[in-house]
Amino acid sequence: MLLSVGALTLGSQLMFAQTDFTGGAGGNIPDATSLGSIVGNTNAGIFTSDINVANPGAIASFNSITLDDFSHTWVGDLVFELEHVDSGTTVIFMYRPLKVSAISGYGSGSDLNGTYTFDNDLTSTFGSSDSIWLAASNNSVIPGGTYAASADVFTGSAKTSYQPVNLDVFAGESIAGTWELTIRDESIGDVGAFSGWQFDATINPAPEPGSATLAICGAITSFILVSFWRRPARQIVSRRN
């Protein structure tokens, strides 16, 4: 057993802190100024918003990204991307649903109207209940809810173009720094807005400066409470079985 400030390890299991990082501003999403049948339209409308995190600690898992009160016509115009600016790591978590060709077509004409959370599900397929592509196929307005983060590999078929995305590309990085959401509208004619955004991650907290760690080997038959505090010129350690 290892006890330390900010984290508790029992055997090989570490107690992490799961935290919502909130406060990302929403706003109006600019429309593209040209048709976007070819991906990466240079005339795309671009919206960006930052969340600045001062917390110490390494990312154990990156769990989800949520867009609040999001409304936009023609979801097939939209690309959602998150970047950890300090490391340069970037992930696309939604890419123009039902656009199956990189050089033609405009994706799904269904609308977004709700709060949408994108999480990790690497088992998701086009036909899964958490596939936003399936939701776009079945609904004129995609219901708010939780969907797998996904990308597009443009195979010509919706079933194989849909690809789940691993948000844990950020795992192991420091949570501290600037997190930038980018929303791209890649084809003219449809607009939208949202009220804000947030993300959720599980953090391995960094020990506070000056904290101590006690390692105890052998069989443990009861919990040991370990506390540290400072007095002038000496450090006191107390234990209680």
Return the H-helix or E-strand segment holding 234.
strand 234-240
Distance CA 131, CA 119 (A): 11
Decide the pairing of beta strands 213-215 and 89-95.
unpaired
pLDDT beneath 50, residues of the chain: 1-14, 210-241
Decide the pairing of beta strands 111-119 and 145-148.
parallel
Give exposure, 10-34, as e/b (b: 16+ Cβ within 10 Å): eeeeeebeebebeebebeebebbee
- pLDDT given at position 7: 39
Using an 8 Å Cβ cutoff, are 65 and 51 in contact? no
Distance CA 49, CA 35 (A): 25
- pLDDT given at position 159: 96
Contacts of 138 (CB under 8 A, 6+ apart): none
- pLDDT given at position 208: 53
Identity of the amino acid at 112:
L
User: How much is the CA Rg of the chain, to the nearest whole Å?
Assistant: 23
- pLDDT given at position 55: 84
Structure tokens belonging to residue 100: 């199956």
Return the H-helix or E-strand segment holding 21.
strand 17-29
* pTM for this model (two decimals): 0.81
- Picking from 181, 115, 122, 127, the residue whose alpha carbon sits closest to that of residue 159 is 127
Per-residue pLDDT tens over the stretch 49-96? 999 999 889 999 999 999 999 999 999 999 999 999 999 999 999 999
Per-residue pLDDT tens over the stretch 194-206? 999 999 999 997 6
Decide the pairing of beta strands 45-53 and 7-10.
unpaired
- pLDDT given at position 56: 86
Contacts 24+ apart (CB under 8 A), 161-165: 161/99, 161/100, 162/125, 162/126, 162/131, 162/133, 164/121, 164/122, 164/123, 164/124, 164/125, 165/91, 165/92, 165/93
- pLDDT given at position 206: 62
Residue with token string 């990156």: 62
What is the topology classification, in CATH, of domain 19-204? Jelly Rolls (2.60.120)
- pLDDT given at position 207: 52
